[in-house]
Amino acid sequence: MGDLRGFLKFKRQEAPHRKVAERIKDFHEVALLPSIPQSYEQASRCMDCGTPFCHWACPLGNFIPEWNDLVFNRLWKKAFELLDATNPLPEVTGRACPAICEYACVLGINDEPVTIRENELAIIERAFASNWIKPHPPKLRTGKKVAVVGSGPAGLACAARLNQMGHDVTVFERDDQIGGIMRYGIPDFKLEKRILDRRINLWEKEGIKFKTSTNAGVDYPVSKLLSEFDALCLATGCRVPRDLKIPGRQLKGIHFAMDYLIRANRGERKEAQGKKVIVIGGGDTGADCIGVAHRQGAASIIQLEILPQPPTTRTTDQPWPTYPKILKTSSSHEEGGKRLWSVTTKKFLGTEKVEKLVCAKVDAQLREIPGTEFELEADLVILALGFLHPEPKGLLEELGLELDAKGNVKTSKDYQTSYKKVFSAGDMRRGPSLLVWAIYEGQQAAKAIDQYLTSSIPASCASNKKT
């Protein structure tokens, strides 16, 4: 490493956020890019550890110590080349990944870990600003055609890798724009959609075809997909939400979190205006809903979580380098609102619209504590309780694919489904998971599809296709 004592000279310093009073008036990104000098200092904290556990934690196998060292030595372009070798969407993971690599950073044993995610973002944005990122279509094509259904992180990662391998790739998306959950499920204040468009335009120039407003299996029959393409990769995510089936659920004003976020990303900016908002569910999606409600002018916001409040630091049962369940305060929480822990919701009250929630405290075993019942007023309730499995109707049903016990698409270790030429990747296959895991799954599925396709390509073409 360039500075073996950098971690002793400098403390962790995260990139600044826009001021709360300013940012809640718009949907522009909250986080600012770190300054160039700050990037040099923070990269120098990477400590030349014997075994870099950040590699172990990151599914993509990013060359983290290597590109940190290159940044410290002002070799930005080489740092970009290493980053680009493993991650097709660093501008997204640099903004929206939970940075599981940082929790495995060796420096984190007795100090604050390296700002890996922000360093990654600094590299990719420097690359775009320097015009180092240009379309590179494959020099040779294999003649094989692949349909990727779903344009979320798994689908796009799969499509990008297959296109690099020389296959002709068409991505089908039922929404009107490409991006899946990255476009419609992540608010603009975390990921502005111009960032997605910038990458998608590059991929189009590299030869990937995108078909929007096309529901594969409905608008585009399964028989046509199977006859026109040599292989299919299904990556439509895990979109069936977990519901809260309690009395009063039928009342108006109660919405699933993803539906609420989709409306906001499509331009609805006043849904929570002047309303008493309650978000049920304490995860990242719930936090995103809080941030949206702030910007829509909510009168008040309360987030309910049935689990107890997590500790602020690691406990003995969550040792380094595991990803710990600790209290996380997002930028949305910094903007206001209240969080209540160990609370269960028993019923919704109201005539036609929801007016109140009947709640109670629970113990560590999630059992209701007698005598703790209370009520909360609400005009808008958002259910952020996670997801169950992919939508079974449509494509899965038409293909007759085998599902696992949880309702996810069952595959072999090579991502192949029960239908020989059909593969699956991402949340659709593994269940609800992280953005970075979806990207990994998409790339691994691409490798498996390539092996499947090249087994029938003449040796001369197969040997030259990746040139």
- Say which CATH architecture domain 243-385 belongs to: 3-Layer(bba) Sandwich (3.50)
User: CA gyration radius for the chain?
Assistant: 23
Q: Single out the residue of 204, 87, 215 nearest to residue 150, CA to CA.
A: 215
Element (H, E) at 374: strand 374-377
Alpha-carbon distances of 73 from 78, 244, 329, rounded to whole Å:
10, 53, 33
Q: Are 408 and 431 in contact (CB under 8 A)?
A: yes
> Is this prediction's pTM over 0.85?
yes
Task: Pull the structure tokens for residue 433.
Answer: 């998971």
Contact yes or no for 255/227 (Cβ under 8 A) = no
Residue bearing tokens 């909510």: 298
Topology annotation, domain 145-239+389-464? FAD/NAD(P)-binding domain (3.50.50)
Give the start-to-end residue ranges of the domains of the chain: 6-129, 145-239+389-464, 243-385
In this prediction, residue 457 carries a pLDDT of: 59
Query: Distance between CA 264 and CA 294 in Å, rounded?
Result: 12
User: 145-239+389-464 and 243-385: same fold?
Assistant: yes
**Residues sharing a CB contact under 8 Å with residue 319, sequence separation 6 or more, in sequence order:** none
- Give the separation between CA 152 and CA 179, rounded to whole angstroms: 5
What's the CATH number for 6-129?
1.10.1060.10
Q: What is d(CA 449, CA 11) in angstroms, rounded to the nearest whole number?
A: 45
Q: What is the pLDDT of residue 24?
A: 98
Mean pLDDT (10-residue bins), the chain, 467 residues: 85 96 98 96 92 93 95 97 97 96 95 97 98 96 98 98 98 98 97 98 98 93 96 97 98 98 96 98 96 98 98 93 94 98 98 98 97 98 97 92 97 96 97 96 98 75 44
